């Protein structure tokens, strides 16, 4: 009887080795580095449907607060980061297929200064910039791509394609309507 638990432990350990290493967690950016308080409308297209949110950002040199609000003004996702602490919480009202980490990371990828993003990107992650497009890779696999549409991101829609979860997110200045870009081509 004592050999059965030992065999099970060895079997499970072997399975864990065979499965390979887990993916490295996606790096989230450090605090924005400046005082900012603004909102953007957020449209996410996935699985042939569209969901709409309002994203509220309260940023200081040392702290970050990002909140996604539904049409009723209820928080469906929140992220708070301060020195030595980082917390993401979500509610069941956020579709299960949407990764909270990916959404926060994509918002940061689109809105943070590139120099701040690069502070936490370590192998196997890397950022590549080509003209007005910023890509985040894990190893050789594309994670997300941001296509900046103009010189002033405060005035233009910013599309973010998340390749891992296959969704298109549009960050739209309040009061503007979301354009209808075609689905992005995979890299």
Closest CA relative to residue 183, chosen from 48, 42, 41 = 48
Confidence of residue 2 (pLDDT cuts 50, 70, 90): low
Tell the residue number behind the tokens 């739209």, with chain if given.
Answer: 172
Confidence of residue 21 (pLDDT cuts 50, 70, 90): very low
Helix (H, G, I), strand (E, B) or coil at 3: helix
d(CA 77, CA 174): 19
Confidence of residue 177 (pLDDT cuts 50, 70, 90): low
- CA-to-CA separations, 56 to 39, 51, 156, 165, 175, in angstroms, rounded: 4, 16, 17, 23, 14
Residues 84-97 have a mean pLDDT of: 93
Residues 159-183 have a mean pLDDT of: 81
Residues 173-184 have a mean pLDDT of: 62
At 72 the pLDDT is 94
Q: Does residue 182 carry a pLDDT above 90?
A: no
Q: Does residue 106 carry a pLDDT above 60?
A: yes
């Amino acid at each position: 009887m004592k050999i059965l638990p030992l065999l099970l432990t060895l079997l499970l350990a072997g399975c864990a080795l065979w499965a390979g290493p887990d993916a490295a967690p996606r790096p989230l950016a450090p605090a924005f580095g400046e005082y900012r308080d603004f909102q953007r409308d957020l449209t996410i297209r996935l699985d042939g449907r569209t969901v709409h949110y309002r994203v509220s950002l309260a940023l200081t040199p040392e702290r970050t607060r990002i909140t996604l609000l539904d049409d009723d003004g209820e928080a469906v996702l929140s992220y708070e980061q301060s020195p030595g602490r980082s917390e993401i919480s979500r509610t069941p009202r956020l579709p299960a297929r949407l990764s909270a980490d990916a959404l926060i990371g994509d918002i940061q990828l689109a809105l943070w200064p590139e120099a701040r993003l690069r502070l936490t990107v370590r192998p196997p992650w890397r950022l590549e910039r080509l003209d007005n497009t910023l890509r985040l890779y894990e190893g050789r696999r594309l994670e997300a791509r941001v296509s900046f549409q103009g010189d002033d991101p405060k005035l233009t829609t910013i599309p973010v394609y998340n390749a891992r979860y296959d969704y298109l997110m549009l960050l739209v200045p309040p009061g503007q309507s979301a354009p209808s870009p075609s689905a992005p081509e995979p890299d």
